[in-house]
Structure 1
Amino acid sequence: MQGDSWIGRLVIGGILLFLSFLIVPVFIFYGYLVRVLESTIEGDSEPPEWDDWGGLVVDGLKATVVGLVYGLIPTVVIVGIGAGLIGIGSAAGNDGGGLLAGFGLATILLLIPVLFLVYYLVPAALSNMAVEGRLGAAFDVGMLKRVVLTSDYFVAVLMPIVVGVVINVVAQVLILTIVGGLLVPFVMFYGQVAVFRMFGLAFAKHAPTDGGQATDVATTA
């Protein structure tokens, strides 16, 4: 809500989420969140403006690719292995088969911690991509380790969970009325910008600048 044009930013963001069923607005929205990361890491205290719409779409597509690579690949591998073990065990039909099926189920249950790990890593990956301007930067293991193993980043990842709960409660209350329901996309946009601001601040504190030192960004959202 900082800056003179915050109402306009909020209105545009809410409208994009309201039109998310058209798909393209989703990519624009994701691109804006990447831009929030970039501006935060660069030290800006005011959210970015809505401009360079083509660039927003491109950044949104990149963010989608990053999320798919981090989330879809391990999911497919784990579910594939688990389903295979369950199928073999069921076909065997004896004690050994039951044991295999049990291992298969346990393998699929590994998705829970794996997906949490994905949720933990993706914000840092997107932050590095936003700073470097390259899709490959999202997979820079050395940089990610430098950031994600810090307590600041750990807290920054946990806080959005709290924000998400609060936003969802507000949304559930608003949706009880027609007028309130129309406000939900705007509330969701506000919450997402706040969350990505937190991610950017945590990343900026430990990511090196061109000079090799961590950036010094104010810690107030």
Structure 2
Amino acid sequence: MTTEVSTRPLQTLLAFPFHEDRWQSKMLIGIGLTLAGMIIPIIPGLILMGYVYQIMHRVIVDRGSLYLPEWDNWGKFLKDGWRLFCVAFLYSLPTLVVSFAGMGIYIVTFIGAMTAAGNHPDSPASILLFVAIGILFLSIGLSILTGTLTFLVLPAALGHTVARDSFSAGFDFTGWWKIFRANTGGFLIALLVITGLMGLVYIVSQIFSMTIVLICLIVLLPLAVGFYVMLIGAALVAGAYREGVENLELAELKLAEASIVAVQEEKPS
């Protein structure tokens, strides 16, 4: 007996942005906002995050099918995008602090050591050079560690934010951790696919940069594909979160049924 592994669900997910009515205009607006984000700080990016918020809300809360929302509620996009941005920023803050603090301490220590060693080459202050390098590598290692942890848990926190429609829900660690544990594999697969898509974009961009004919598209390609990856990423994270909720609900239902059976068996006949 052979088991056939179907890739149809993944194919459907990857193609969903192109099955909408007027998908061309919706995609063009998203790509235009991505381009605007290179010129105008913050605002276009927040609107884009609010747009994917609605995609996630459709899957997680409404439990509906994937779709591209209409670009008709810019105020709500901005509000929801700000909520997601703040949650993501605060989760990334430890990594940013470690990175910048480590780099700052390294630069100050290195300059001080070089100044002392320049005036007195035989001074013990030259040891500070090795200390500076050690601090740099330590900060890099801690940044990689905290960044990896953030990358792993942030999707569940963002999904919880959307599910509760609340900024504080992103920091309900007990709440989103239960859902993450209920579908850890699903979240990891989502992150793997997102990482693969981003890597594919990088490879294609490098290929384009090596050809005279296609190099003119080197700016447009990342914008177009970047917005597409954002849409797919939102769909993957929302799907993983929804599956986690369903797994948790099923486990709680089985536990309740088992408790009822146990109580009935304890009753005297």
TM-score by length of 1: 0.79
1:48 is aligned to 69
The letter for the 2-side match of 1:32 is Y
Give aligned-pair identity as a percent.
24
Distance change (3 Å), C-alpha of 1:129 and 1:100 = same
CA RMSD of aligned residues (A): 3.2
2:83–2:167 CA contact under 8 A, matched in 1: yes
Q: Point out where structure 2 has 5 or more consecutive residues left out of the alignment.
A: 1-17, 117-123, 251-269
Q: 1:22 corresponds to which letter in structure 2?
A: I
Counterpart CA distance in 2 for 1:28 and 1:15 is 12
Q: Report the CA distance between 1:84 and its aligned residue.
A: 5.8
> Which of 222, 228, 232 matches 1:190?
228
Give yes or no for contact 1:31–1:59 (8 Å, CA) kept in 2: yes
8 Å Cα contact 1:171-1:187 kept in structure 2:
no
- The answer on whether the counterparts of 2:155 and 2:187 sit within 8 Å (CA) in structure 1 is no
Cα deviation code 1:77-104 (max 9, x no counterpart):
57547866995xx79x58x979976764
Query: Equivalents in 2 of 1:157, 1:71: separation in Å?
Result: 16
1:75: Cα distance to partner?
A: 3.1
| Corresponding residue of 2:216 | 178
Deviation at 1:173, TM superposition (A): 4.3
2:66–2:235: 8 Å Cα contact kept in structure 1? no
Q: Which gives a bigger RCO, structure 1 or 2 (Cα 8 Å, sep 6+)?
A: 1
Q: Provide structure 1 residue ranges, at least 5 long, that are not aligned to the other structure.
A: 215-221
Deviation at 1:45, TM superposition (A): 2.3
C-alpha distance after superposition, 1:143-201 (max 9, x if no partner): 22123331111111121110111122334445634356434422221122112211111
Would you say 1:29 and 2:48 are equivalent positions?
yes
**Deviations 1:110-159, CA, capped at 9 Å, x for gaps:** 11111111122222211111121111111110122123331111111121
CA contact (8 A) 1:37 1:196 kept: yes
Which amino acid in 2 is paired with 1:29?
L
Per the alignment, residue 71 of structure 1 pairs with: 92
Number of equivalent positions: 212
Distance verdict in 2 for CA 1:73–1:15, change over 3 Å = same
Measure, in 1, the Cα distance between the counterparts of 2:136 and 2:206: 35
- Scaled by the length of structure 2, what TM-score is found? 0.66
Which residue in the other structure is 1:219 paired with? Answer: none
Confirm whether residue 114 of structure 1 aligns to residue 154 of structure 2.
no
